[in-house]
Amino acid sequence: MSESKDNKNLSRKELSYNKLKGLGEEIIEDVVKKDIPSLKVPSRGTSNIVYDDAKRYFVLGDRYGKRSLGNVKQIKKIGQMVQVANFCKDLVQREKTATLREMYYVSEGWGIGFDNQQESNIVGEDIEVTLGMSREDLGLMPEEDGASVYGNIVFQEGDIEINALKSGKSGYTISPTIDEVDFLDHDVERVIAVETMGMFHRMVQEEAYKKFNTLIVGLKGQAARATRRFLKRVNEELDLPVYICNDGDPWGFHIAMVIISGSAKLAHVNHDLATPNAKFLGVTASDIVNYELPTDPLKDIDVLRLKELANDPRYRDPTWQTEIKKMLKIGKKAEQQSFSKYGLEYVVDTYFPEKLELLS
């Protein structure tokens, strides 16, 4: 479904509504012409997911699948897509949202219900990829909480102004509707995102926001879509460099790389989520050696995952290749909190200043 020039001047809400409405109009047009209604759905198979070297994230290729009411096996799937699209159109029109779980239960009244929530989630993704919009734009929200942000930045959320420096020690929670939040003012030079809330609270206690004039973001593990969208926005709209500090293991590397270069699963929305200019500030194999950190031995699954990362196009950079090979060689991994060996303040007083200088 192509985007007209007029769409460029529309708000995200208006664009979402028009695309959802247009999906139904395509089917009606086929009926009026007495053609068999059908929908083209971009393929999300691995063979159609491509790493774009210029954009530095995964994108979808040009392969499509066709769902037709002329195929008995596809009738239910098209019916589900139409129902979900109509449900989303109503949400967008009324400026409401629904969680994926709520949509699953609402679907019980449609007469073409889903066998389980996983099936309804997949149809929601089909709508996303068909329209080229994120589920949040369509009014569908995840269940999980967003990340926490602490530092000197002021948001406009509806009629309310919020200063993340005055939101308590747990900071401001990033909303799934982060695109409806405006950045009014800030007095920071960078963003440091950390994998664990333990490290987040350590940085708040040690006043890292002052020491580095930074926003502190607690990722809560694998970053939610809203968190990734926030990091992309502050990087592009506020021109703030983003640093990501994760555990020194393949899973920490992956969490950081999903923020930097997106994920294969979300290739259809990586343009809204990936922050290619973000830098890895986390624990590397070299750090494990140079700082003589407490470690755990790599497990077989860690070794397997590191070898997978070595062959992943997102890790082609020589620095990543060197660190992956070194970790395999030493056979060890380490957590962010391992710097506590030298005292609770060490990570803020020594490690971060040295790493930031190295990366600047």
Predicted pLDDT of residue 5: 42
Which of 64, 105, 243, 291 is flagged as catalytic?
Answer: 105
CATH for 2-141 is 1.10.10.10
The mean per-residue pLDDT over the stretch 34-56 comes to 94
Phi (first) and psi of residue 140, to 5 degrees: -100, 130
Domain residue spans in the chain? 2-141, 147-358
The pLDDT value given to residue 9: 52
Residue 120 has pLDDT above 60, yes or no: yes
Instruction: Compute the half-sphere exposure of residue 135: CA atoms within 13 Å on the CB side of its CA.
Output: 21
Pairing mode of beta strands 64-68, 38-42: antiparallel
Q: Residue 346 catalytic?
A: no
pLDDT at 3 over 60: no
pLDDT digits (tens, 9 = 90+) for 62-110: 999 999 999 999 999 999 999 999 999 999 999 999 999 999 999 988 8
pTM above 0.85, yes or no: yes
Would the CATH topology of 2-141 be identical to that of 147-358?
no
Q: Mean pLDDT lowest for which of 8-12, 167-171, 216-220, 236-240?
A: 8-12
Residue 4 pLDDT: 45
Q: Look at residues 58, 61, 226 and name the one whose alpha carbon lies nearest to residue 141.
A: 226
Q: Which amino acid is at 297?
A: P
| Whether pLDDT at 6 is above 70 | no
CATH 3.30.450.40 fits 147-358, yes or no: no
What pLDDT, on a 0 to 100 scale, did the predictor assign at position 177?
87
Query: Confidence class of residue 153 from pLDDT cuts 50, 70 and 90?
Result: very high
CA distance linking residue 324 with residue 285, whole number of Å? 7
Q: Quick check: 47 pLDDT over 60? A: yes
Average pLDDT along the chain: 93
Per residue in 262-316, pLDDT tens?
A: 999 999 999 999 999 999 999 999 999 999 999 999 999 999 999 999 999 999 9
Please determine, for residue 145, whether its predicted confidence score (pLDDT) is greater than 70. no
